[in-house]
Amino acid sequence: MRVYRNTVLSGCIDALRANYPVVAQLLGDEMFEAVAAEHASQCPPRKPVLALYGARFPDWLEGQPWVRDLRYVPDVAHIERLHIESLFATDAEPLQMSMLAGIDDWQGLHLSPHPATRFDWLTSPATRIWLAHRDGLEGKLELEWHAEGVLFTRPCLEVQPVRLDRAGHRFLFGIRLGENVGAAAIATANLYPETDIRSLFSSLVNCGAFAASSPRS
């Protein structure tokens, strides 16, 4: 029976390694395998689609006693999960600035995030850590320890990561909850008066954060 048990377990570990490559790098092969095996035994796959396996891994990591000294590891795991979700989300046309030509009632404009848009705010510099490892530049990583957000968008079928500041996070957070563009912009500007809201908005549109089907006044 051992051959079956081994195959089942290694299938789960391989799937976690594929979906959490930077967590695997941070922990090292041996530790990652032990951690993944424990996760797989506590949270086994419920669907045979292993491309999506590991949804509970980031939260599960947060509850592990050994991460007390490695707070950024669960944050990196959250980022990797957002990346997977963005990668496999439904296809849709992204909104382009030209589609907004002529709109002047920003308070009446509601936008929907593109189905592949994912973002979060993290209390560690996990976004920088993730980006550096993904690009093979972890040796050059010089960290200032501060909180930072991450945004994934998928214009033209390729997932693009962006480091998100507080203002960008506040704006997207409002839009996701259904706030209109004008109200989100005013709230963001009040909280972060140094922000150039117009350029924040156009950079979000240009990176494909919103769905084309969404403009409605």
Could you tell me which stretch among 3-11, 31-39, 95-103, 194-202 binds another protein (CB under 8 A)?
Answer: 3-11
For another protein, the closer of residues 47 and 140 by Cβ is 47
Residue 14 CB, nearest approach to another protein (Å):
8
If one asks whether residue 18 binds another protein (CB under 8 A), the answer comes out as no
User: How many other C-beta atoms can be found within 10 angstroms of the C-beta atom of residue 56?
Assistant: 13
Tell me how far the alpha carbon of residue 166 is from its chain's centroid: 15
Tell me how far the alpha carbon of residue 171 is from its chain's centroid: 16
Q: Can you name the residues that pair with 164 across neighbouring β-strands?
A: 149
Going edge to edge, which strands form the sheet with 118-122? Answer: 118-122, 148-153, 160-164
If one asks whether residue 116 binds another protein (CB under 8 A), the answer comes out as yes
**Burial class, 100, CB count within 10 angstroms (exposed 0-12 / middle 13-18 / buried 19+):** middle
Query: Which residue of 28, 30, 46, 104 would you call a contact of another protein, by CB under 8 A?
Result: 46
Could you tell me which stretch among 11-19, 26-34, 167-175, 195-203 binds another protein (CB under 8 A)?
Answer: 11-19
Tell which positions 132-191 bind another protein, by CB under 8 A: 154, 157-159
Specify the pairing of strand 148-153 against strand 118-122: antiparallel
For another protein, the closer of residues 51 and 97 by Cβ is 51
Q: Are 78 and 28 in contact (CB under 8 A)?
A: no
Residue 49 CB, nearest approach to another protein (Å):
5
Query: Which residue of 21, 45, 155, 215 would you call a contact of another protein, by CB under 8 A?
Result: 45
If one asks whether residue 8 binds another protein (CB under 8 A), the answer comes out as yes
Helix (H) or strand (E) holding 99: none
Residue 18 tokens read as 């594929």
Query: Which residue of 37, 52, 67, 186 would you call a contact of another protein, by CB under 8 A?
Result: 52
Sites of contact with another protein (CB under 8 A)? 1, 3-4, 7-8, 11-12, 15, 44-52, 86-92, 115-116, 154, 157-159
